[in-house]
Amino acid sequence: MDKLLDIFRIVPEGVRWMGSAEGLEVAKALIKAKSAEQPGDFLVVSLETGWKMEIKAPGYGRAAVADSWRSP
């Protein structure tokens, strides 16, 4: 079983929780679906390990992925 990841939309006030996903590929699919409705930037976080990834949706500013890893 993949690790549980939390998905947040980055908003002017900070971040808004959008849901959880089991694994990065599922998280990316959910972000792709949500971006189709409303483009934006997202943050995927493992609260267990501290790992995080910022995903800038295509069509919303520059498309980029920033990956950060902190070992426990």
Question: Could you give the percent of the chain with pLDDT greater than 90?
Answer: 44
Residue 13 clears pLDDT 70, i.e. is over it: yes
Q: What is the pLDDT of residue 33?
A: 87
Place of tokens 């069509």: 59
φ/ψ (deg, to 5) at 33: -65, -45
Q: What is the pLDDT of residue 36?
A: 81
Q: What is the pLDDT of residue 8?
A: 95
Residue 27: its H or E element: helix 24-37
What is the spatial distance between Cα 32 and Cα 69, in angstroms, rounded to a whole number?
Answer: 22
Name the pTM for this structure.
0.74
Chain segment 17-43, per-residue pLDDT in tens: 999 999 999 999 999 888 888 888 999
Residue 39 and residue 31 in contact, taking contact as beta carbons nearer than 8 Å: no
Place of tokens 């930037």: 41
Q: What's the one-letter identity of residue 39?
A: P
- Kindly list the domain boundaries of the chain, sorted by start residue: 4-68
